[in-house]
Structure 1
Amino acid sequence: MDEMDDLRRMRAGLPDPTPAALAAARDRLTRRIATADPVTAPARPRRPLSWRSVLARRLAIGVAGAAAVAVGAGVVVATANHPTAPAPGAAGSHSAGTGTAVTTPGAALSLAADHTAKAGDPVVGRGRYRHVVSTSWHGEYDQGVAFQTKQRQEVWVPADSNGTWWWRETDCLDTRFASKADERKVRAKAPSWFTTKVSVASGHGDRQEAAPAGGPQPGGSGEPDWAFPTPAFLAKQPRDPKKLLAVIEAAQRPSALTKADRPTLAFLSIAQVMGSGYVPADLRASLYRAAKLIPGIKLNSTTAELGGRKGISVSKLSPYGILQQEIVFDAKTGAFIGERETVAKAIGDAAHLPVGSVYRSTSVTVDVTGNPKLF
């Protein structure tokens, strides 16, 4: 029996797995994570800027293994503000800070779409760059310990998107552990997690082509898609919300899970592509409206905090109800603040995973700068 057999059983409508089964799944997954060689990971060659590649692979296979991932791949850290948010789907009227009461996820997404269309895109003049900063926390596993690490990725997109792009990734900015004992163990056996590392690259159209000698070298990339968009790819997408959602659903990789739950995977793809930071305003507005059409979305909070900013949070449960994908956007401008996964269902053998804890998160900021000339 392999992982696909497990998926087929889940898809067949069997009861939820027992804590013992979850523990076994966790052990299988964490052993694979600990021994995996990212250079030979599937889907496309490894880039020096690794976290988006990791996230893309999680979107391709992570939802399918959500039950195992939730207990095996990342320690989650409870935040002071998140557990105080209303329970997913809780009834009631929320003030979005705009003078308009928001009572449904559809109303919130419509508001975001309207504000986004009105605000438009930042003006990027000749010789200037759109500078996107993505700060993420995600799970790692080493020495038998699950923990979180913080990364920051920066990308500079020129006014003429055919010009030279620049990337800078800063790894191991910080760590979070479930206990001091776990931290001591990793510090003793794998101290590299506590050393900040920086890699830079340049290229064209999201294709990294050059890097300083002695540093991580680009490994190439595949065709642009919803995980790795380019301005040209985004420009050709339909703006009609229904057609757009159909295109995103059709782009999900074939598997037992996608046949059963393409809408959930589409919601995850919307969260990821918005995080690229260079989706044009008209398409961002359409993505909000497309998300509105996905069944099962919930209004979490109108005061959700992510990356030091507050906004509206709309979510969609994973197929197994354990993780919850959220998108967070500014109530006044519709600007995309970020996305995160939180724990939505208690897990019997994992007391360190309380409901409402953050499993993984990414916050995004966008500004306009000059040429960074990183090397």
Structure 2
Amino acid sequence: MRSELTTKVAAADPATHLQMPLSDREWQEMAQAIMSSGTAPAAAGDAGALVADRLTITGPSARAIPRRVRRSVAVLAAACALIAAPVGLSLTGRPAGASVAAAGVLDTAAIHATDPPASGDQYWKITTTGGHTATRHETRNASDLSSTWWVLDRTIAYVAVDGARPTYTEWAPGISQRQLTGGPGWSPVPGGTSIETTNLAPNELPGGWQTPNPAFLAALPRDVDHLRDRLYADAQGHGSSVDGEVVVYVADVLRSGLVPADLRAALFQVLKTVPGVDVTSRAVTLQGQLGVGIARTEPVNGTRQEIMVDPSTGLLIGERTVAVEGTSGVPAGTVVTETRVRTTLVNEIPAATKDAAHHAICTAGADSVITCSKAP
């Protein structure tokens, strides 16, 4: 009968059935040699430990290991290293994070993240096409009724590259597209298109993960460890879990369309360290644009926060929230929110946009509260 150690190590390596079986005595002797060795055990992927015909483990119980078992030694070494490591830590000492598949996609996206050359006097034109579910509960003829609709909205913002001139934002909210559940009757009433601007430039407004401006983004660390520390510190105490909220914060800031390439690359590397992050689809289409879905399922509230990236360009295509558990009016698998982001560089704001804009006079208080009134 196999010992518990033999069974666990064999189960951990799907290729063990291709090797000559080892006896319990051989497994136990190798485990003892590795754990008592004064040197770090070789990981299974360490090619340097596997090139010789014979592999020797140093330490009090060292002995030469025949070639037929050298792969098993490496597998067992990695297993022993995991046993010796603190719970929740990877072999590198960092917290265990994203799946291998997600890490590969995020690495590729980080490598290819680039931006077009831009000067401070230009503008980023950020077109955000979004959708969300809208549910209304009502009582009619003593019956409780509910209707859930999918509602589209669109925003076009012109943001100064240097953050030193006011932003112009065009809103086109509330276009009902289709009914998801419920009977006839209520449907959302679309609002009219409006264009808004203020007297304050982006850098004069408080910056944050949900409302980033160029100054806030420039001040964030590009070092992955420092950026991770900042994200986890800011996310602490918010959302259903700190890991889930970090993914939300990353999605929020990327959705702005303002994140420069070096910071996008660092954010992708941070996501690699978040437990539970995985690839949800290797080919997801978001409003006609193809990308890879990266997500983390939040077990507390039954939702999955997804971002869609194009690994070949390092660009965020968009993000969405999916219900993985059914709720009232929203069955499992429903896309609850969806946002597609497209950023282009323009030289100036269109004259028609400026002419049609409603101006507000705003004041930024010492407590970061913004108060606005309509311009006379």
Q: Does structure 1 residue 273 correspond to structure 2 residue 275?
A: no
Matched residue, 1:131: 125
User: Following TM superposition, by how much is the alpha carbon of 1:127 offset from its aligned partner in structure 2, in angstroms?
Assistant: 4.5
Q: Are the aligned partners of 2:163 and 2:202 in contact in 1 as well (CA < 8 Å)?
A: no
Gaps of at least 5 residues in structure 1 are 1-101, 188-192, 209-220
Give me the whole-angstrom Cα distance separating, in 2, the residues matched to 1:205 and 1:283.
Answer: 22
Matched residue, 2:341: 364
Q: Are the aligned partners of 2:307 and 2:319 in contact in 1 as well (CA < 8 Å)?
A: yes
Instruction: Give the direction of change, closer, same or farther, for the CA distance of 1:159–1:234 in structure 2 (3 Å limit).
Output: closer
Q: Does structure 1 residue 198 correspond to structure 2 residue 156?
A: no
SS in structure 1 of the partner of residue 185 of structure 2: helix
SS in structure 2 of the partner of residue 197 of structure 1: coil
Matched residue, 2:220: 237
SS in structure 1 of the partner of residue 264 of structure 2: helix
Q: Are the aligned partners of 1:205 and 1:231 in contact in 2 as well (CA < 8 Å)?
A: no
Q: Are the aligned partners of 2:106 and 2:311 in contact in 1 as well (CA < 8 Å)?
A: no
What TM-score does the superposition give when structure 1 sets the normalisation length? 0.60
Give me the whole-angstrom Cα distance separating, in 2, the residues matched to 1:176 and 1:263.
Answer: 34
Q: Does structure 1 residue 286 correspond to structure 2 residue 263?
A: no
Q: List aligned pairs for 1:182-261, cutoff 5 A.
A: 182=183, 184-187=184-187, 193-203=188-198, 204-206=200-202, 223-252=206-235, 254=237, 261=241
Give me the whole-angstrom Cα distance separating, in 1, the residues matched to 2:194 and 2:232.
Answer: 34
Q: Are the aligned partners of 1:143 and 1:186 in contact in 2 as well (CA < 8 Å)?
A: no
User: Following TM superposition, by how much is the alpha carbon of 1:262 offset from its aligned partner in structure 2, in angstroms?
Assistant: 0.8
Matched residue, 1:108: 105
SS in structure 1 of the partner of residue 112 of structure 2: helix
Instruction: Give the direction of change, closer, same or farther, for the CA distance of 1:198–1:326 in structure 2 (3 Å limit).
Output: same
Structure possessing the higher radius of gyration over alpha carbons:
2
User: Following TM superposition, by how much is the alpha carbon of 1:154 offset from its aligned partner in structure 2, in angstroms?
Assistant: 1.2
Q: Does structure 1 residue 329 correspond to structure 2 residue 309?
A: yes
User: Following TM superposition, by how much is the alpha carbon of 1:167 offset from its aligned partner in structure 2, in angstroms?
Assistant: 0.7
Give me the whole-angstrom Cα distance separating, in 2, the residues matched to 1:169 and 1:318.
Answer: 31
What TM-score does the superposition give when structure 2 sets the normalisation length? 0.60
Give me the whole-angstrom Cα distance separating, in 1, the residues matched to 2:305 and 2:282.
Answer: 16
Q: Give percent identity, aligned residues only.
A: 24
Please state which structure has a larger fraction of its residues in strand.
2
Instruction: Give the direction of change, closer, same or farther, for the CA distance of 1:177–1:253 in structure 2 (3 Å limit).
Output: farther
User: Following TM superposition, by how much is the alpha carbon of 1:251 offset from its aligned partner in structure 2, in angstroms?
Assistant: 1.1
Matched residue, 1:142: 136
Instruction: Give the direction of change, closer, same or farther, for the CA distance of 1:319–1:242 in structure 2 (3 Å limit).
Output: farther
Matched residue, 2:157: 155
Please tell me the residue identity of whatever aligns with 1:175: Q
User: Following TM superposition, by how much is the alpha carbon of 1:319 offset from its aligned partner in structure 2, in angstroms?
Assistant: 3.4
Q: Does structure 1 residue 312 correspond to structure 2 residue 292?
A: yes
Please tell me the residue identity of whatever aligns with 1:237: L
User: Following TM superposition, by how much is the alpha carbon of 1:364 offset from its aligned partner in structure 2, in angstroms?
Assistant: 0.4
Q: Are the aligned partners of 2:149 and 2:180 in contact in 1 as well (CA < 8 Å)?
A: yes
Give me the whole-angstrom Cα distance separating, in 2, the residues matched to 1:169 and 1:321.
Answer: 30
Q: Are the aligned partners of 2:118 and 2:161 in contact in 1 as well (CA < 8 Å)?
A: yes
User: Following TM superposition, by how much is the alpha carbon of 1:141 offset from its aligned partner in structure 2, in angstroms?
Assistant: 3.0
Give me the whole-angstrom Cα distance separating, in 1, the residues matched to 2:313 and 2:236.
Answer: 33
User: Following TM superposition, by how much is the alpha carbon of 1:298 offset from its aligned partner in structure 2, in angstroms?
Assistant: 1.0
User: Following TM superposition, by how much is the alpha carbon of 1:343 offset from its aligned partner in structure 2, in angstroms?
Assistant: 2.3
User: Following TM superposition, by how much is the alpha carbon of 1:344 offset from its aligned partner in structure 2, in angstroms?
Assistant: 2.1
CA displacement, residues 132-159 of structure 1 (integer Å, 9 cap, x when unaligned): 0111111223353332311111111123
User: Following TM superposition, by how much is the alpha carbon of 1:205 offset from its aligned partner in structure 2, in angstroms?
Assistant: 3.7
Give me the whole-angstrom Cα distance separating, in 2, the residues matched to 1:186 and 1:160.
Answer: 45
Give me the whole-angstrom Cα distance separating, in 2, the residues matched to 1:299 and 1:151.
Answer: 27
Q: Aligned pair count?
A: 245
Which residue of the other structure, out of 160, 171, 174, is the alignment partner of 1:172? 174
User: Following TM superposition, by how much is the alpha carbon of 1:310 offset from its aligned partner in structure 2, in angstroms?
Assistant: 0.6
Instruction: Give the direction of change, closer, same or farther, for the CA distance of 1:289–1:205 in structure 2 (3 Å limit).
Output: farther
